[in-house]
Amino acid sequence: MYKRQLQAPQSDIEENLGQYMKGWDYTRTARHEQLKKLKILDSKWEITPRDSAVPEWKNSKHQNWEDLRMSVYAAQIKIMDQGIGKLLDTLKNLKINDNTIIMFLSDNGGCAEFLMEDPDPLNKYKLMDMGAKMTFDGNVDMHQMAFWQIILAAGPVLLIALAIGLFIGIFQAATSINEMTLSFVPKVIIVMLTLLLTANFVFISLSDYFNFIFEQISALN
């Protein structure tokens, strides 16, 4: 199975920076016209109206951030296209491309929009609505998220330390061995190994959390 992560290298992102500063209205109109010139779309097909929830580009409060976000997405598409191209080239070189079924699977991530089937879609997580003031429920949600992050970050190490301490205590009680290093050294070694094994997960989890927090702070301005 051929796998490729849809992550954008910094160099590919930087190639796109600035080209979206003309705004999404200009970009989508230009692409629509290009598709009609290539006869991919019928020349009679008009572009659909902009989503009513999306403001005009000139009224966007975070144009630099939006430019960066679109640049990252464009770089991801480029990497994906290159990966598919390498796969097809390899199949052709092996002369098995006519006898191969290619299935492309990708998780599109969480929905960025509020869905009407969600319970109270307009008020749940009001803090996520750009420009909205944080509500009581929003404050509760933020505290729950912070508490959960503490559990994720510290929980594994604390549980391992407690388990090792309990095991060593039982062992010392059963054998009458009261050597101090026996209760200290193994615990330190195992805790350090646990930190090494969970560091990547904890770092990603905390990074996502703080990115979310900073986005909400900027949205409240």
Total number of domains in the chain: 2
Same domain, 16 and 94: yes
Same domain, 105 and 141: no
Look at the alpha carbons of 74, 76, 81, 85 in this order and tell me if their dihedral is positive or negative: positive
Same domain, 147 and 104: no
Same domain, 78 and 141: no
Look at the alpha carbons of 76, 82, 86, 89 in this order and tell me if their dihedral is positive or negative: positive
In a domain, residue 167? The reply is: yes
Structural contact between residues 47 and 33, judged by C-beta atoms closer than 8 angstroms: no
Whether pLDDT at 113 is above 70 = no
* Residue 188 pLDDT: 84
Same domain, 140 and 196: yes
pTM over 0.75: no
* Residue 134 pLDDT: 52
Whether pLDDT at 156 is above 50 = yes
Same domain, 62 and 141: no
Whether pLDDT at 33 is above 90 = yes
In a domain, residue 120? The reply is: no
For residue 55, what is the DSSP state?
P
In a domain, residue 75? The reply is: yes
In a domain, residue 117? The reply is: no
In a domain, residue 80? The reply is: yes
In a domain, residue 21? The reply is: yes
Structural contact between residues 89 and 82, judged by C-beta atoms closer than 8 angstroms: no
For residue 221, give Cα distances in angstroms to 23, 45, 139: 22, 40, 17
Structural contact between residues 220 and 133, judged by C-beta atoms closer than 8 angstroms: yes
Domain region containing 25:
10-110
In a domain, residue 119? The reply is: no
| Residue 89: Cβ within 10 Å count | 11
For residue 218, give Cα distances in angstroms to 23, 65, 67, 143, 144: 20, 11, 16, 18, 20
Same domain, 20 and 106: yes
Among 61, 119, 83, 94, which Cα is nearest to 3's?
Answer: 83
In a domain, residue 121? The reply is: no
Among 205, 221, 6, 37, which Cα is nearest to 132's?
Answer: 221
How many distinct helices (H) and strands (E) make up the chain?
A: 5, 0
Q: Of 73, 92, 110, at which residue does a domain stop?
A: 110
pLDDT tens per residue, range 164-209: 888 888 887 888 777 777 777 888 888 888 888 888 888 888 888 8
Same domain, 17 and 95: yes
